[in-house]
A and B are shown apart, each in its own frame.
Chain A
């Protein structure tokens, strides 16, 4: 099976490269670090961007690091502005096949709009870390989970 031009078997045999990013003016990174640690312990290679990145910087990091997943964390309430901006730029830069998920303080009424921008999961506080890993596997199995691939599918998270 081909995924973004690459063989699925190859993808799973080597560690996945995942960027975990903190967009905007938000200094709270405990959540991002917990997720980064979880992904690391599951055998993936996690590239952490550090705090207060712009959407453009995040997209360029994903591009240069050849990441397959991008995790965005926001606890500042600016997710409705920042997350769609990152998704838009990813598509503009031709990174259609990157799978984007998010986490933080994101009310359920805001989530539908983020899914419509191409995000594939939103995890709120209290999400079991195992669920995030489950999402990663599920998203990997699909051929249409990329941010610019316009699929209806997204992960229903428990929190």
Chain B
């Protein structure tokens, strides 16, 4: 391990931070090794609030614009925030176009730029809206003094709940005209939300949709999470959203479901990182092995 690099990162050198994150992503550095060398930065003290938050929702509902406005608000309060913005890798070539930065203007402000760190991340081999390695990055950033870490997931559909495996809290962003009341009744991501933001309140139908979501939560068991109307475009509702998110409590709903996702994510990571994976995929492709025996082989690791 490059001790100097990690030391520089801990002292706040931005390039070293970026390089440590790359090394974690490329698996040339393990978080556990950093923990062994620098145990003092990883405190076990129970925090009274969250340190990582996933912002998820369908493509085009305005996640990036909303995050930009929230970053501006938090920065004006002096809160150091890191944003890990995730975009998909091509399953064919492995390449990715990472464009979430384009919409983040907060970091262009001279006063705020030292309080904000933005990193674009491609999903690479993992399935789901956020690769599990991101949880190591979050832990490292939290340990070196980034008070809050936001993860912007890949634009996700109804059943994409993998981000639950990574963060302390989940915020689901919705938009107006996303179907009738029955859509809100369907199971999925919304059930795990610690808060719901209905964005684009400047367009008609947003407040009706917020009402439908609220009704749907109230029909179910447990506490209804905060449901906030915003317009990232006009800046409406941003102040409320920013302060609600800062103090966001774990609704305690779906604890088991969250752990189910974490378990699945770790299991998937184990398979994807297996040395035998290439060989097994090859054998499956030429038909010399079955899925059952492949799974057995992978389980032997």
Contacts and interface: CB of A to CB of B under 8 A. Distances in A.
Do A and B bind? yes
Interface of A: 5, 7, 10, 13-15, 17, 36-37, 39-50, 57, 60-61, 63-66, 93-95
A154 B94 CA distance: 28
B118 A39 contact: no
Given A17-B22, A40-B90, A64-B118, A46 B97 contact: yes
Nearest to B25: A14
A86 to B, nearest CB: 16
Contact of B93 (A13, A14, A43, A66): A43
A45 B96 contact: yes
A10 B26 contact: yes
A47 B93 contact: no
B97 A66 contact: no
Nearest to A51: B102
A40 B25 CA distance: 18
A82 B18 CA distance: 25
Contact of A48 (B2, B22, B95, B97): B97
B122 A45 contact: yes
Contacts, number: 83
B102 A15 contact: no
B26 A66 contact: no
Contacts of A10: 26, 28
A10 to B, nearest CB: 6
A66 B19 contact: yes
A64 B97 contact: no
B22 A46 contact: no
A41 B89 CA distance: 10
Nearest to A63: B15
B299 interface: no
Interface of B: 2, 5, 14-15, 17-19, 21-22, 25-26, 28, 89-90, 93-99, 101-103, 107-108, 113, 117-120, 122, 124
Contact of A40 (B21, B96, B113): B96
Contact of A43 (B21, B94, B113, B118): B94
Given A64-B117, A95-B15, A46 B102 contact: no
A46 B122 CA distance: 9
Contact of B26 (A14, A37, A57): A14
A69 to B, nearest CB: 13
23 contacts: A5-B2, A15-B94, A17-B22, A40-B90, A41-B95, A42-B93, A42-B95, A43-B90, A43-B95, A45-B122, A47-B98, A48-B98, A49-B101, A50-B99, A50-B101, A50-B102, A57-B108, A60-B107, A63-B18, A64-B18, A64-B118, A66-B15, A66-B22
B66 to A, nearest CB: 18
Given A5-B2, A7-B28, A63-B15, 10 more contacts: A14-B25, A15-B94, A40-B97, A43-B93, A45-B95, A45-B96, A46-B96, A50-B103, A60-B107, A64-B17
A105 B2 CA distance: 42
A37 B21 CA distance: 25
Contacts of A61: 101
A41 to B, nearest CB: 5
Contacts of A57: 108
Contacts of B124: 15
Contacts of B93: 40-43
A15 B15 contact: no
Contacts of A14: 25-26
B94 A66 contact: no
A78 to B, nearest CB: 20
B95 A39 contact: yes
- 7 closest Cβ pairs, A-B complex: A50-B102, A66-B18, A40-B95, A43-B94, A66-B22, A43-B95, A14-B26
Contacts of B17: 64
